[in-house]
Structures are given as structure tokens and as C-alpha cells.
Structure 1
Amino acid sequence: MRLIENGKPVEDRFVRVSDDEALPEGAAVLIGIERFLKDAEALRERPAPVGVIWPNSRPIAEIEPYLGRIALIALNFPSFRDGRAYSQARLLRERLGWTGPLRAVGNVLRDQFLLMQRSGFDQIEVSKAADADAFDEAVHRYTVFYQPATDRRPSLLRQRLGRSAPGVGE
């Protein structure tokens, strides 16, 4: 898999480890939530970063007590038609205050890049090299938006009112 971070292809520093594998010493790891919860206390002592793959079928509010211990959150798109991870991303950024890396994994398509970025994802895992190369064009295809989003681009209403974000000039 190729990784796009903040619009640029990058090398993934996190090693994805399944539940039955040993964690590599000194390496940043990305593990499933079941393993994270089962080994939470042992992982607290681990000196290397730990990332969590959060399923879209689980309420995102359950992650709040662990946010201080997590280096990366990966939200899963099991199907391109399943958009629950968009809502999870917005909740993480806007309600839970997550400022760390937020990664989209799973069935990610080029057509979804702009909405993923606007929802708060700063990392996107893609399967095709061509998708990574097309990221910039995909996220700059539209310049006017009706809805406010986590990317802080002003909505059309805010532009018309002369304000870039809520609270500015109010």
C-alpha cells in the first residue's frame, strides 16, 4: 500500500501487526482495537509509537480515554459505499479534539480524496500508485463549498458574509 500524507506520497513508518504477531522492538506499530484494548497497560510502557485501527462499526467516543496514548488513528472504509468513517473523523477532530495523524484505510477511492481531506484525514492509504499521483488534482478540483468542514476552507456562506471561520468578525 502507498501512503499519502498531507498531499504527498511518503514512506509509512508504522508497521501493521496482526493480533497474533509479536510486536517488533523499537518500531512504530499499527494494531487493531481489540489487541490495543486487551494489551492497553503493556502498551503504555512501550517506548515506540502505537497506532490503532478503529472499526467504523464501533462508536468513536469509546476511544476518548486512550487518546493520550495513541500516536495514530486509522479509520476503516470496508466499502466505498460505507461512509461512517467520515463521521468518525469529524467527531474525532471537532468534538474529541484529536490533533494527531488520522489515516483512511481500506477501500479508498480517488473520488473520495477531497471529502476525506475535508473530513479531517491527513493520511490516506491507497492501493494504486496512480491514485497517489492524482491526489493533488483530486483535492483541488473544486474551490467553492457549501458546507463547513474541518479543513477550515470557508463555506460559500462565510465567503459571502466576509468571514473565513465561525467567530471571525462576529
Structure 2
Amino acid sequence: MNPRRKKRMGLIFAIVLGVGLTVGLMIYALNQNMDLFYTPTELVNGKSDGSKPEVGQRLRIGGMVVEGSVSRDPNSLQVSFDLADVGPKVKIVYEGILPDLFREGQGIVAQGVLTSPTSIEAFEVLAKHDEEYMPPEVAEAMNVIHEPLTYTDEQLESK
């Protein structure tokens, strides 16, 4: 092989290696920033495909704040509360100022890190803005969980 061909092959190899490295780093960065959505029941029992989050994984969880479960630390901004849908409860620990619309019995979405199978350390808490709004992921999950037990004649005819 003459020196000119060696130089071209080296350049092509370097370009292919650089593009491969760039794509690999982009995929790694996107994977690190991906937050999966769970309901409390899915977090404890696993999703329908059998996947359960691991301790240390970032995630989003949505549900209703359990009545009487909110406890505040008098010496800091730390708040802990239970979150539930129709199944088991999950404990959320958050340090910061809660949204104005946050209250017991209210639907919220928390974003944080799973610290134990039923506990999350949240870094963001979002409260829904009125009684009719529900995040699409929460609405879809609640519809799957709350399938009607009885059907009307119209529903039976459509099936």
C-alpha cells in the first residue's frame, strides 16, 4: 500500500471512530436523562410487562396525596407524604417549597430518585391546576386500572 492510501485509510478510520464515539455518547446521555412514569401500584407490583424500577433510578410518579399523611419537619423545608392510586402507598420525601395547589386528596406528579422499593426522594413536585385536569400519563394509567365492572347496553353493543 502506498503512503497516500495509508493516509486516506487512517483519515476514514478516524472519521468513522469519531462518529461512532459521538453517537455512543449521545445515546448514553439520553439514557441517563430519561425519566420513566409510574403509578404507585406499578412501582410496587411492576408494570404489565414485568419491569420494576431499581433503587437509585430516576422516575416520575403520579397519584393522589393520601389524607392525613403529610408531615412537615419544623426545622427545615422537608415534607413527607404518602401517594396512592387504588393499590399500595408510596412514601415521597421532598425538601423545598410545595406548589400552592398542593393539599391532601389532590393529584400530583413527583419527579425524583427511588431510594427503596416504596420510597422516593423527590426533587420536583407538581400539583394539578384544577379539578378537571390530569396529566395524560396519569389519566391513561387510571383508565387502565379503573375498568368498569358493569357495562351499559350501549357498551355491550359496541364490544
Same fold (TM over 0.5): no
TM-score, normalised via structure 2 length: 0.26
The structure with the larger Rg is 2
Give TM-score, length-normalised by structure 1.
0.24
